[in-house]
Amino acid sequence: MEFILLCLLERHVSGTRGLYSRASRKVMEILKPPAQKFEKASIDEAYLDITESVDGDWDSAFALCRELQQEVFKKVGLTASFGIGPTRILAKMSSEINKPNGIFRILPDEIQDFFVDRPVRDVPGVGPKTATMLAEWGISNVDEAYELGELALARMTNERFASWIIKLADGNTTNEVSPLRSRKSVGKEHTFDIDQSDSEIVLTRLNQLVDTVMERAHEMGVCGRLAEVKIRYTGFETHTHGRSIPVAMDDGEVFSRLAQQLFANNLQCGEKVRLIGFRLGNLEMPISRQITLQL
């Protein structure tokens, strides 16, 4: 039995992007020692395989989270939420339960109970289009989808999604924490001839970059779990903003929405943009055809 831990940092650091990046690096150094495998999923998130450190004991895993939480706050001044589970996606979902500055765990024998009355929309990577499609069949919650069985669910959606949702509810999704995963990426940047104050012009170019990157990903036969938007302002001040999802995808619409959200949430008001870029990271080779989901 693996013990996968996700640390989700809460951003309340005033100042520049560089200041937050330095704080994030300090946090990552605190998190690494107890992990047999460590994966930085983004500037805000890290997955840890702590199986050996806790010697198969869930109470020890919870206590370790509390110790790390206290050390992060003491040394860096940041709060963080922790999720513990036997798989990556369960750890991810756990980390969202008691935010901010909380800890939540899902034990193996609690997995199916956890998904009772749990909206399908709460599952990371499942967006409104998929949720609406299932709702048309009277399915709103994960346990309802599970009870249908894989064959019936595949007729409503597709085989890959049906297989994945059944494995999710059974706790059989991936446990892998890979320190090499985040090194794989494909990206594209554009430098404007004249620094741009019109955010719509920049956003249009960003959408074009996403299309180009996703076309390249399709040509490579890969899908990704990390979206990053790079913004360079007049004076060469540069910021990179990222968001990860637990399910690797190659859906251009999903990453277009992620890129738009990252741009809208992080654009500095009144600043002109010199360069815009998009990067698809944490690339993986799909097992078979890709799940079609929407954020």
Which residues form the catalytic set? Answer: 45
Q: How far apart are the C-alpha atoms of 206 and 189, rounded to whole Å?
A: 9
Which residues does 111 contact at the CB level (< 8 Å), separation at least 6? Answer: 86, 90, 169, 170, 171
Sheet holding 238-249, edge to edge: 185-196, 273-281, 224-233, 238-249
Rounded to 10 degrees, what is the CA torsion of 165, 167, 168, 174?
A: -120
Strand pairing category for 224-233 and 273-281: antiparallel
Which residues does 110 contact at the CB level (< 8 Å), separation at least 6? Answer: none
Q: How far apart are the C-alpha atoms of 56 and 53, rounded to whole Å?
A: 8
Beta carbons of 165 and 146 less than 8 angstroms apart: yes
Nearest alpha-carbon partner for 178 in 27, 83, 65, 281: 281
DSSP 8-state code for residue 183? G
SS3 content of the chain, % helix, strand, coil (to 5): 45, 25, 30
Q: How far apart are the C-alpha atoms of 21 and 19, rounded to whole Å?
A: 5
- Give Dmax (Cα) for the chain: 59
Query: What is the DSSP code string of 40-70?
Result: E-SSSEEEEE-HHHHTT-HHHHHHHHHHHHH
Rounded to 10 degrees, what is the CA torsion of 225, 28, 100, 259?
A: -30
